[in-house]
């Protein structure tokens, strides 16, 4: 699929933010923005949907809590209810305070790790993955906005120059 994109470089995050707002106002579709560091408010300016990773984390935490409860109930109460130092192992609730540290840690463990793995999977990050960086300068001191082209190259070019772009390239992808 041969499509053309235009890449505009900026060297200041404030300028970039204004440029994003203007390009969006002019109804152009921004494919991607590459920045060397998080730019506060950029996602809002681009109109990106809010992340749902906190919700997944909550659900993973619930899974961890369930795992801990089922595990301790099976091991300590059902499978071999031994008398260990006089702790009451007649039912789960009677000995529950002793299990709370495990329940807590398992909840945190599941919530944290599964959320991180979810993040890696959703952002397609893994070791030996080929970097998708269009220009090395975007990891250092330049900001890059990538916009789809639909035969309106000149008009977009003028707009981007007007927003303060320091360099504009159009590329076949």
Partner 1 sequence: MYTFSNRLKIGSFILMAVGLIGIAIGFISAPSTVEEAKAMVASHAEGHGGDHGDGHAVPGETEGEVHMDEAGMQHPTVGMGAEVEHGNALAHDQEHEMSHDEHLLHQLQNRPWSALYVAALFFFFIALGVLAFYAIQRAAQAGWSPLLFRVMEGITAYLVPGGIIVFVILLLSVLHLNHIFVWMDPEVVAHDELLQGKQGYLNPTFFLIRAAIFLAGWIFYREYSRKLSLAQDEATDNTNFVKNFKWSAAFLVFYLVTESIMSWDWIMSVDPHWFSTLFGWYVFASMFVSGITVIAMVVIYLKSRGYLPDVNDSHLHDLAKFMFGISIFWTYLWFAQFMLIWYADIPEEVTYFVTRIDDYKLPFFGMIVMNFLFPILVLMNSDYKRVNWFVVMAGIIILLGHYLDVFNMIMPATVGDQWYIGIPEISSVLFFMGLFTFWIFRAMATVPLQPKRNPFIEESRQFHY
Residues that bind partner 1 (CB under 8 A): 54, 58, 86, 88, 90, 94, 97-98, 100
**Least distance (Å) between residue 40 CB and partner 1:** 10
For residues 83 and 172, which CB has a smaller minimum distance to partner 1 in the complex? 83
Burial class (CB in 10 A: 0-12, 13-18, 19+), 152: middle
**Least distance (Å) between residue 11 CB and partner 1:** 26
**Least distance (Å) between residue 147 CB and partner 1:** 29
For residues 37 and 90, which CB has a smaller minimum distance to partner 1 in the complex? 90
- Count the Cβ atoms, other than its own, within 10 Å of residue 170: 14
For residues 54 and 117, which CB has a smaller minimum distance to partner 1 in the complex? 54
**Least distance (Å) between residue 170 CB and partner 1:** 37
How far from 98 is each of 91, 92, 102, 147, CA to CA, in Å? 12, 10, 8, 58
Instruction: State the DSSP code for 74.
Output: I
**Cβ(64)–Cβ(57) below 8 Å:** no
For residues 84 and 161, which CB has a smaller minimum distance to partner 1 in the complex? 84
**Least distance (Å) between residue 45 CB and partner 1:** 15
**Cβ(166)–Cβ(17) below 8 Å:** no
**Cβ(137)–Cβ(10) below 8 Å:** no
Enumerate the β-bridge partners of residue 147: 6, 30
- Count the Cβ atoms, other than its own, within 10 Å of residue 109: 15
**Cβ(114)–Cβ(121) below 8 Å:** no
For residues 17 and 144, which CB has a smaller minimum distance to partner 1 in the complex? 17
């Amino acid at each position: 699929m041969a499509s053309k994109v235009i890449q505009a470089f900026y060297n200041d995050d404030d300028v970039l933010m204004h440029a994003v707002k203007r390009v969006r106002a002019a109804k152009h579709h921004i494919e991607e923005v590459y920045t060397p560091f998080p730019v506060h408010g950029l996602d809002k300016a681009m109109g990106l949907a809010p992340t749902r990773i906190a919700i997944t984390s909550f659900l993973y935490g619930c899974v961890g809590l369930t795992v801990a409860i089922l595990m301790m109930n099976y091991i300590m109460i059902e499978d071999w209810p031994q008398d260990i130092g006089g702790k009451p192992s007649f039912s789960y609730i009677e000995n529950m305070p002793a299990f709370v540290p495990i329940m807590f840690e398992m909840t945190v463990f599941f919530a944290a790790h599964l959320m991180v793995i979810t993040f890696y999977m959703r952002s397609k990050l893994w070791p030996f993955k080929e970097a998708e960086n269009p220009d090395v300068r975007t990891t250092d001191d330049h900001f890059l906005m990538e916009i789809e082209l639909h035969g309106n190259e000149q008009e977009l070019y003028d707009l981007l120059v007007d927003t303060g772009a320091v360099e504009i390239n159009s590329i076949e992808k």
